[in-house]
Chain A
């Protein structure tokens, strides 16, 4: 890979070289052209349909002019000129003389020798824009570079803002976390499990923090998902569609820390989305999200629950108080013992294993301000973290009664059965196709067999095998019937 990186620029430089050489050639060509023009001053006008007489008339006077000027000018200049003329334009001169010897002076009898005013015929051509060396010809480049500079400026400003927000959040939450967890901050790479005491920066807009070493839970992963302030395109897109920074907390629990239930509460939009996306919510909470007003929480929040007992258990006074006072900041809260992430799109014809589940508590909080947050706003999220800690302890204590437990177990058994059924048909189909393939292969072998005797014998063997299978099946059916009786 490194070789490729070094080779590529070299390759491109090589490609660029012919271009530059080409330009040099152009310069030389221009020089030669200019030299030629000195001789054939009006050679370019030869093709233009004017009077040939006029053309020719113009030509002898300039011939006369250079020859006369050496006499008039300084001797030095004249000599230089002469010499130059002689050295460089020797051949050209000879050429010209040959050309003009064709024209007899007698031809021009009768023509009035008018001194053509060269000044009238001098046409100043405008140099095309791309050959000029002025600022105007580079307006496209200037525009683009200005855009790039704006992008870079925005990148630096956005990156710094996100970094300051993350640091402010961590500073305000550090005390709470350190009093609750033995390990605060871990990137998983160090040999010993010591607190790094700082956030992991995954991106310019995503920061992670792993906390572990607490009673009632395995660990807690906090993700600060800020807006992409470092990307100018995103900034412009957000002007159309406002979004806000999010704090996601994922608490993983041990098996003994949580009873078997699935529960979610959050904004209506979030609940509708989660019910479609999340595997466990889809399977266990089939009903539509219920309004939270029944349990004393604001109307804007909706509840998804496996059974009413769970909701009653979770929605105690303190929880209701938390939810009511911070309803605007709560996007979703999801407790589940069957959490396996969002639904995975399955490929056809692949027998699946039941997805691995983990007892998890998920919290998604919106940072107030709709993008215009300042580091001071991070203190507002502290009560929410208190709620998280409270929830962890609560879930440990929450146990379903006997009925609830039975119902929950039945639900889980039902889901597993459904899953096995689905995969069973798939597996059956796969087995069927395999059997058919085998049969076909055998038949082909028999057909390809040249020796008729061997063919006959193979066919008989196949027939005998099929008969045996049939007999076995019949025996099984008889046994089942006997057992049923």
Chain B
């Protein structure tokens, strides 16, 4: 038995399951980039739609792309797609203004 202990440090009876770290208690661990970019994207797309400014809409598209690239895999993809759609639609409006 002792030989086994010395040679093999593994203990199958001492297994603990993985618990994802609780981000509520440690807010510093979270990266706020995707949330900020999401919000910016929404704001710019609304601006672009209401004020008919093309450049606003293009910035919104970029913001939503950046938010998607930085997002966590656990987040809902549907929400991201909705921000994509809003900013894409507002940017494809044919407006003579720039």
Selected from A147, A210, A215, the residue in CB contact (under 8 A) with B9 is A215
A215 and B11 contacting across the interface, CB-CB below 8 Å: yes
B62 and A148 contacting across the interface, CB-CB below 8 Å: yes
Chain A residues within 8 Å of B26, by CB = 341-342, 344
A219 and B89 contacting across the interface, CB-CB below 8 Å: no
Bound-state CA distance A232–B71 (Å) is 14
Determine how close the nearest CB of chain B comes to the CB of A228; give it in whole angstroms.
7
Q: Do A144 and B58 contact each other (CB < 8 Å), given the known contacts A1-B78, A231-B70, A342-B26?
A: yes
Chain A residues within 8 Å of B82, by CB = 4-5, 8
CB closest chain-B residue, reference A189: B18
Give the interface residue-count category, chain B: 35 or more
Is A467 interfacial (CB-CB < 8 Å)?
Answer: no
Bound-state CA distance A155–B72 (Å) is 15
Selected from A9, A140, A187, the residue in CB contact (under 8 A) with B18 is A187
Is A241 interfacial (CB-CB < 8 Å)?
Answer: no
Is A182 interfacial (CB-CB < 8 Å)?
Answer: yes
Bound-state CA distance A198–B24 (Å) is 27
A188 and B17 contacting across the interface, CB-CB below 8 Å: yes
Is B69 interfacial (CB-CB < 8 Å)?
Answer: yes
CB closest chain-B residue, reference A210: B18
A219 and B98 contacting across the interface, CB-CB below 8 Å: no
Determine how close the nearest CB of chain A comes to the CB of B34; give it in whole angstroms.
9
Chain A residues within 8 Å of B12, by CB = 182-183, 213
Is A151 interfacial (CB-CB < 8 Å)?
Answer: yes
Q: Do A230 and B69 contact each other (CB < 8 Å), given the known contacts A1-B79, A182-B12, A214-B14?
A: yes
Determine how close the nearest CB of chain A comes to the CB of B84; give it in whole angstroms.
10
B69 and A231 contacting across the interface, CB-CB below 8 Å: yes
Q: Count A-B contacts at CB 8 Å.
A: 111
B86 and A16 contacting across the interface, CB-CB below 8 Å: no
Chain B residues within 8 Å of A232, by CB = 69
Determine how close the nearest CB of chain A comes to the CB of B43; give it in whole angstroms.
15
A201 and B58 contacting across the interface, CB-CB below 8 Å: no
Determine how close the nearest CB of chain A comes to the CB of B3; give it in whole angstroms.
14
B73 and A201 contacting across the interface, CB-CB below 8 Å: yes
A188 and B19 contacting across the interface, CB-CB below 8 Å: yes
B89 and A203 contacting across the interface, CB-CB below 8 Å: no
Selected from B10, B28, B70, the residue in CB contact (under 8 A) with A180 is B10
Q: Which chain B residues (14-28) contact chain A, with CB distance < 8 Å?
A: 14-20, 25-26, 28
CB closest chain-B residue, reference A342: B28
Q: Which one of A155, A180, A230, A233 has the greatest number of beta carbons of chain B within 10 Å?
A: A233
B16 and A219 contacting across the interface, CB-CB below 8 Å: yes
Chain B residues within 8 Å of A331, by CB = none
Q: Which chain A residues (378-416) contact chain B, with CB distance < 8 Å?
A: 393
Bound-state CA distance A393–B5 (Å) is 13
CB closest chain-A residue, reference B72: A203
A148 and B65 contacting across the interface, CB-CB below 8 Å: yes
Q: Do A140 and B98 contact each other (CB < 8 Å), given the known contacts A5-B81, A215-B9, A342-B28?
A: yes
Q: Which chain B residues (72-98) contact chain A, with CB distance < 8 Å?
A: 72-74, 76, 78-79, 81-82, 85-86, 89-90, 93-94, 96, 98
CB closest chain-B residue, reference A389: B9
Q: Which one of A148, A179, A182 has the greatest number of beta carbons of chain B within 10 Å?
A: A182
Bound-state CA distance A202–B73 (Å) is 6
Bound-state CA distance A202–B18 (Å) is 14
Chain B residues within 8 Å of A233, by CB = 66
Chain A residues within 8 Å of B73, by CB = 201-203
Bound-state CA distance A344–B73 (Å) is 26
Is A119 interfacial (CB-CB < 8 Å)?
Answer: no
Chain B residues within 8 Å of A213, by CB = 10-15
CB closest chain-B residue, reference A219: B16
B65 and A8 contacting across the interface, CB-CB below 8 Å: no
Determine how close the nearest CB of chain B comes to the CB of A178; give it in whole angstroms.
9
Q: Which one of B69, B78, B93, B94 has the greatest number of beta carbons of chain A within 10 Å?
A: B69
Is A465 interfacial (CB-CB < 8 Å)?
Answer: no
Q: Which chain A residues (171-201) contact chain B, with CB distance < 8 Å?
A: 179-183, 186-188, 193, 201
B10 and A181 contacting across the interface, CB-CB below 8 Å: yes
A182 and B96 contacting across the interface, CB-CB below 8 Å: no
CB closest chain-B residue, reference A200: B18
Chain A residues within 8 Å of B19, by CB = 188
B15 and A12 contacting across the interface, CB-CB below 8 Å: no
Is B61 interfacial (CB-CB < 8 Å)?
Answer: yes
Task: Name 24 A/B residue pairs within 8 A (Cβ), A-sorted.
Answer: A1-B76, A1-B78, A8-B82, A12-B90, A13-B89, A16-B89, A148-B62, A152-B65, A182-B10, A183-B12, A186-B18, A188-B19, A202-B73, A203-B73, A204-B70, A212-B16, A212-B18, A213-B13, A214-B14, A215-B11, A218-B14, A342-B26, A342-B28, A393-B9
Binding site for A on B (CB under 8 A): 5, 9-20, 25-26, 28, 49, 54, 58, 61-62, 65-66, 69-74, 76, 78-79, 81-82, 85-86, 89-90, 93-94, 96, 98
Q: Closest 5 A-B residue pairs measured CB to CB?
A: A210-B18, A188-B18, A213-B15, A182-B12, A186-B18
19 extra interchain contacts, Cβ-Cβ under 8 A, other than A19-B93, A188-B18?
A: A1-B76, A1-B78, A4-B82, A5-B82, A13-B89, A144-B58, A151-B69, A152-B65, A155-B69, A179-B10, A180-B9, A180-B10, A182-B12, A201-B73, A215-B11, A218-B16, A221-B18, A232-B69, A393-B9
